[in-house]
Structure 1
Amino acid sequence: MTTPISYFERMYAADPDPWSFETRWYDARKHALTVDALPARRYRSAFEPGCSTGMLTARLAARCDRLLAVDAVPAAVESAAARVADRPHVTVRAARMPHEWPDETFDLIVLSELGYYFADADLATLLDRSVSTLAPDGDLVAVHWRHPVEEHARSGDEVHAALSARPGLHRLTRHEEADFVLEVFSRDGRSVAQRAGLA
C-alpha cells in the first residue's frame, strides 16, 4: 500500500523537522554528496518532488536557473518556501505524487527518499512520469535509505532496481553505502569527461 498522507501529516504536526534534516550530519553529508554527483554544472529547469523542509532544495537551487519543489504536506511546503524565500528562481508548492506530476519538461529530476513510499502501481507511475518528462539531455538522480522501515512499501534497493530497469536511461553514477544508495541516470550516456571533450 502507498503510505497515506495522514502518516506524514502526523509526523509534521509532532515535529516541524521530523527527520532532523536541519541538525543531523548524516543528512547534511548525504545532501552534499547528492549535489556533488550532478553531472552538469548548471541546469535550466529542475524538479524535486517530496522536498520536505527544503534542506536539499536549498543546495539544488545554487545549480539551477529554475527549480520547482513540491511536497504533499502543507507544513513541509511552508518550511521549504521559507528556507528559499530569498531565491526567486525557486518555486515551492503543494502537490501529491505521483498523480499531480507537473506537465513540464525538466533537465534535472531528483528523487530523494521518495520512491519507497509507493505501492507497485504508484511507483510505476512515478518512474514513468520521471522518464517521460526528462529532457533529451536530462539527468535523473535517485537516493534512498536502504534499511527496512515499517511504513515503507518497499526497500530503497527495490526502488533503484525498478529505476534501473526503465528503458532509455544510462547509469552514470552509483554510490553505495550500507545506509543509502545514490544513482545518477541520464538520457545522455556520455561520462562527465566525455561531455567536456576530455575523453
Structure 2
Amino acid sequence: MNTPADYFEGQYARADDPWQLAERWYDRRKYQLTVAALPRARYRRAFEPGCSVGVLSELLAPRCEALLCADRVASAVGTATRRLAGLPQVRVQHMAVPEEWPEGPFDLVVLSELLYYFGPEARARVLRQSADSLSDRGHLIAVHWNHPVDEHTRTGRQIAGEVDALPHLRQVARYDDPDFTLTVHERGTSPGTALSPARVEGLA
C-alpha cells in the first residue's frame, strides 16, 4: 500500500468513524447510488475489501446471501463487526489486501474508496485479484473520489480507465459526477451480451 498503515491507525485512533461515513449526505448519497447500480437483485457471495466501519456493507447486505467484509485496521473491523452484528449473512474479517485475499469465487466484488491508496503495482494486483476471483457473469464495482488528495495516488476517473483495461471484463454501467466515478464491470461477456436487468426479466 502506498499510504502507510500508521496513517489509517492514526485516523481511527481519533474517532470510530474518522471520515463521518455514516453522517454526511455526500457519502449516504454515494452509497445509495452504488447499491442502486448493482445489476442483480441478489448475489450469492460478495466481497468488500476496505470496508472501513461497515456503512456501505450494511446497505449491501440485504442484496447478498453471503457478504465478506474486510479491513486492515483492527479498530475499524471492530466497529464494523458491531454495526453488522444483526446480519447473519455478513462476516467481517481483519485482512490486508493485496497480500491477503480470500478464496473465491465471488459473484460481486466492491472496491469503494480503496484503490487510490495503492501505488501502481499494488493497485494492479488488487484489480487483477478482483477480476480473477469473479465467477462468470460476476460484477466488479469500483467507486472513487475525483478530487485531488495528498494521500491519493489516482482519481476515480483514472481508476475507471484502469478497470476498463482489465481482460475478461466489460463495462456495463458508469456514473460520473464532479465528486466521484462509479463503474460496473461484468466478467466473461462478449460485446452486446451483458445480462442487463431488463434482459434478465425478458423485457429486452
TM over 0.5: yes
Are residue 173 (structure 1) and residue 170 (structure 2) matched? no
**Unmatched runs of 5 consecutive residues or more in structure 1:** none
Q: CA deviation at 1:142?
A: 0.7
Gaps in structure 2 of 5+ consecutive residues: none
| One-letter amino acid of the structure 1 residue matched with residue 133 of structure 2 | T
Alpha-carbon distance in 2 for matches of 1:175, 1:182: 5
AA paired with 2:143? V
Deviations along 1:8-34, one digit per CA (max 9) or x if unpaired, are 000000111111111101101110110
Which residue number in structure 1 is paired with residue 134 of structure 2?
A: 134
Name whichever of 53-62 and 188-197 sits farther off: 188-197
Are the aligned partners of 2:173 and 2:185 in contact in 1 as well (CA < 8 Å)? yes
Q: CA deviation at 1:197?
A: 1.9
Which residue of 2 is the match for residue 192 of structure 1?
197
Q: How does 1:8-19 map to 2 (within 5 A)?
A: 8-19=8-19
> TM-score under structure 1 normalisation?
0.97
Q: Structure 1: which 4+ aligned runs deviate by more than 3 Å? A: none
- Counterpart residue number, 1:44: 44
Residue type of the alignment partner of 1:194: R
CA distance in 2, matches of 1:125, 1:40: 26
Letter in 2 for 1:175: Y
SS at match of 1:66: strand
**Cα distance between partner residues in 2 of 1:69 and 1:111:** 11
**SS at 1:27 equivalent:** helix
- 1:154 equivalent in alignment to 2:154: yes
Aligned to 2:125: 125
Q: Give the % identical residues.
A: 49
Number of the residue aligned with 1:84: 84
Letter in 1 for 2:142: A
Partner of 1:45, secondary structure, is: strand
Measure the CA separation in 2 of the matches of 1:92 and 1:68. Answer: 6
Q: In the TM superposition, what is the alpha-carbon distance from 1:121 to its structure 2 partner?
A: 0.6
Which amino acid in structure 1 is aligned with residue 201 of structure 2? A
Segment drifting more, 70-79 vs 96-105: 96-105
SS, match of residue 129 in structure 1? helix
Q: Deviations over 1:116-145 (max 9, x none)?
A: 111011011000000000010201111000
The answer to whether the Cα contact below 8 Å between 2:156 and 2:182 also exists between their aligned partners in 1 is no
The 3-state SS of whatever aligns with 2:103 is coil
- Cα distance in 2 for partners of 1:160, 1:175 equals 10
Q: TM-score, normalised by structure 2?
A: 0.95
| RMSD (Å), alpha carbons | 1.0
Residue 191 of structure 1, CA deviation: 2.3
- Residue 4 of structure 1 and its aligned partner are, at CA, apart by 1.1
The amino acid of 1:150's aligned partner reads D
